[in-house]
Every structure is written in C-alpha cells, then in structure tokens.
Amino acid sequence: MPCAVPGEFSTQETPTVPSNYQAVTSHGCDQRILRSMELKNIIIAPDDLVLITGASGFLGPHLVASLLRHGLRNLRVFVRRSSNVRRLKAVIAELGAGARIEMVRGNLLSREDSVAATRGATVIFHLTRGNGSSFPDAFMNSVVTTRNLLDASLEHKCLRRFVNISSFAVYSNKGKARWRLLDESSPVEQNAGCTRDAYCFAKVKQDQIVIEYGKKFALPYVIVRPGSVYGPGRPAITGRVGTGAFGFYLHMGGSNRIPLTYVDNCADAIVLAGLTQGADGEVFNVLDDDLPTSRRFLRLYKKHVGHFRSIYVPHAFSYAFCWLWEKYSQWSEGQLPPAFNRGRWHAEWKKTRYSNGKLKRLGWTPKVPTAEGLTCFFEACREREQNA
Ligand SMILES: NC(=O)c1ccc[n+]([C@@H]2O[C@H](COP(=O)([O-])OP(=O)(O)OC[C@H]3O[C@@H](n4cnc5c(N)ncnc54)[C@H](OP(=O)(O)O)[C@@H]3O)[C@@H](O)[C@H]2O)c1
C-alpha cells in the first residue's frame, strides 16, 4: 500500500456531527451531546491510514469513536484472535458509515503480524499493554510489542507519528515536598523494576524504547500519559483511593485529589495530542478538571453504588505501613509480594497537585464534566453489582 500525501483538515471540512448525537460508549446514561473539538493543523489528511492497537481494550473503542467523530475515515483496528470485539463493533456500527475500517487480527509479539499491522499506516495510536499481573507479561505485551511495531514502521517508511500511550504510573514523585505540582517535567521512575510494580516497570521501559527510536532513527513520536481513566466498562475503584488487604478496604488517599480522566475526554485528548502538528517529541499528561478528593470519591461511591466498610489510614501511618511491608518483603526474599512499597506510596498516595495546562494550551477541554462522568460511572458500577 503506498504512503498517502500529507495534508491537513479542520472540523469545517469533516462530516457534520448530528445535533442529537449520543455517544455509543456512554452506556446509555449520558445523554449529552458530544461536540467535535477543533482539530486544526493536523499532520495527516482524513483518508490517510491510522492504526489503533489495543483497540478491543477499555480505551480502544472510545479512541476509535473519537477518531471517527473527528472525521478520520481510514482506520485499521488491530485486535487479537481471542479479543472480545463487541464494544468495538458497536462503535463501528454506529459511527463508521462512510469510513473505511479494517479489522486485523494477530498478535504484536509476532514480528510478521506487526509488519502486517503497520503497512501503510501514517499514524499509530499504540494502546496495547500487558495486564501487569507479572513482570514477564507486562514486559512482553507492553515493551516487546512496542519494539516490534517501531521496527515494522521503520521498514515501511510511511509513519508520520507514533503515539505512545504511557501512564501517570511512570512518574516517581519522590524527593519533593508534599502538595508540589506534578506535570510533564516531573522525574520519571529510574528503578521501577526494584521499587515499584510490573506495570510501572513496563510503562517506563516502553517510554524509553520510544524515545530511543526517536533519537536513533528520527522516528516522530508523541507520548500521552493519562491519569486514572474511568468510565462505564471498567467498574473498579482506582488504587489511588485505596486497596483491599486483610479483608478490609484500606482508604489511603484521604484528601488527595485523584488524577481522573473520563474515558471519552481521555480519547479526545489522545486524538488531539496525537495529530496536532508541531507536537513531535512532546509529552502530554491527561486529567480532567474539578477532580474529587479520594475521600469524596469514596463517599460518593458508597452512596451511589453500595456501602462497604473501609478504614482510613492517615498519611504518616500509610508511609510507615508501606516501609514495613517493603522491608519484610525484602527480608523474606519476596515470599510476601511487595504490593505495598514506598515507591507506590510516593506515586499514588502522597499529597500532590496536578496540571492539565499543557494539553489545554493545545486546545483540549474535557467535554464531559467530572460530576457527569462520575454519575455515569457509578450507574454502571451499580448495574454491575446488581447483576453480579
Ligand atoms: N485504563 C487506565 O486507567 C489507564 C491509565 C493510564 C494509562 N493507560 C494506558 O492506556 C492504554 C490502554 O489502556 P486500557 O485500559 O484500554 O488497556 P486494556 O483494557 O488492558 O487493553 C489492552 C489491550 O491490549 C491488547 N493486547 C495486549 N497484548 C497484546 C498483544 N500481544 N498483541 C495485540 N494486542 C494486545 C489487549 O487485547 P485483548 O482484548 O485481546 O486482551 C487489549 O485490547 C494502555 O497502554 C494503558 O497502559 C490506561
């Protein structure tokens, strides 16, 4: 397939969004109109081929919906043979009229499949990740898949941008006072394999390999780092609020604000950062406005979804608890897994402020306000509890 000619388009030239459009991904409880954000000065034309990996995951169908809403008309969605593509197919059925959408099945651990996936692609949105249950799984499915895609893209010589979906998990947040600002300039974890967890380790390595290919082969890339993505389809409380241990729910977050981003807002942010001209080599954090504190989130969850017992662990105690757990885990040579450790405490539970200023300067605003996003999320959680 030949590489397409570079171009640009704005929302004026894209198909009009019906005035009564309701997001297919909104679980039926969000009746708001999702208007197009303005996409101008972008690096490709509407008919240039865009590849989305990890398209069957939680975020994938929302990203596909956002691309279609913004007038991209030539998408290749990559899924595994075993992937559940129900939500993805629903999005395509609702929004895909007039677009060319190819579903390719394979595994990005295979170099041949990676070559087939990237053939002709001008932009790659790389969402694939390991489930973080173990270091090998996280490394294979986050890092090796990334390397395979990058190598394959170099072969084709068509790529105008590799959009690497990273995570807030990569920030170490150590060595600074409480309540300091965490933004794109904040230090990234250096020793994640020893001090954090498999997911963080893999995401740090994934970012490193993308940056390395950028330097070595002049491969254009953008790194997008969402905070905690929430919405219907992932009815779980983020670990930044707390976690279960010894039969209790330990509420660790207290008065910290949670860097939440509603899944449709996050998808729009990825599209904007991924396609805007002049963003090569940049990093963008994604989080919404009006973020709730951990305490407020938990209170709302209990009120709207269902009550359960939780124990608040004040910050000094939670730090001491993580320190003791980490030491015992080291002393026992890993017989007790290091589920709690100081690295995690700094990253997830230390009092911190966040900023979405860089993304906003690009023209992004979260279309779904947090209050509305939470209502929708709690409704989906409640439904799931009732059906369990
Ligand atoms: N969700 C969040 O809160 C959050 C926060 C920050 C960053 N992120 C990042 O955002 C991205 C998307 O997250 P998500 O929550 O949508 O993840 P997800 O639901 O776990 O989806 C991961 C996707 O990767 C696919 N995949 C895994 N290994 C693969 C392989 N070897 N070959 C091909 N496909 C493979 C999975 O396919 P199957 O469907 O077959 O399993 C799935 O579609 C990830 O990079 C994640 O790190 C997510």
Q: Which residue ranges make up each domain of the chain?
A: 11-232+260-289+353-376
Measured CA to CA, the distance from residue 48 to residue 39 in angstroms comes to 15
210-118-276-16 Cα dihedral, nearest 10 degrees:
-150
**Residue 109 in contact with ligand 1 by CB distance below 6 A:** yes
Q: At what angle do helices 60-69 and 86-95 cross, to 10 degrees?
A: 10
Whole-number Å distance, alpha carbon 273 to ligand 1 midpoint, is 19
Per-residue tens of pLDDT for the chain, all 388 residues:
444 333 322 222 233 333 333 444 444 444 445 556 778 899 999 999 999 999 999 999 999 999 999 999 999 999 999 999 999 999 999 999 999 999 999 999 999 999 999 999 999 999 999 987 799 999 999 999 999 999 999 999 999 999 999 999 999 998 878 789 999 999 999 876 666 789 999 999 999 999 999 999 999 999 999 999 999 988 899 999 999 887 889 999 999 999 999 999 999 999 999 999 999 999 999 999 999 999 999 999 999 999 999 999 999 999 999 999 999 999 998 888 888 999 999 999 999 999 999 999 999 999 999 999 999 999 999 998 888 7
pTM over 0.75: yes
Whole-number Å distance, alpha carbon 328 to ligand 1 midpoint, is 32
Q: Which atom of ligand 1 is nearest to the CA of 60?
A: 16
Whole-number Å distance, alpha carbon 72 to ligand 1 midpoint, is 22
User: In this structure, are strands 283-286 and 123-126 parallel, antiparallel, or unpaired?
Assistant: unpaired
Whole-number Å distance, alpha carbon 261 to ligand 1 midpoint, is 16
**Residue 366 in contact with ligand 1 by CB distance below 6 A:** no
From 63, 80, 170, 262, give the residue whose CB has the most ligand 1 atoms within 8 Å, as the site to mutate.
80
Measured CA to CA, the distance from residue 321 to residue 332 in angstroms comes to 16
- Place domain 11-232+260-289+353-376 in its CATH homologous superfamily: NAD(P)-binding Rossmann-like Domain (3.40.50.720)
Q: Which H or E element spans position 181?
A: strand 181-182
**Residue 141 in contact with ligand 1 by CB distance below 6 A:** yes
Measured CA to CA, the distance from residue 344 to residue 97 in angstroms comes to 45
- CB distance 264 to 62 below 8 Å: yes
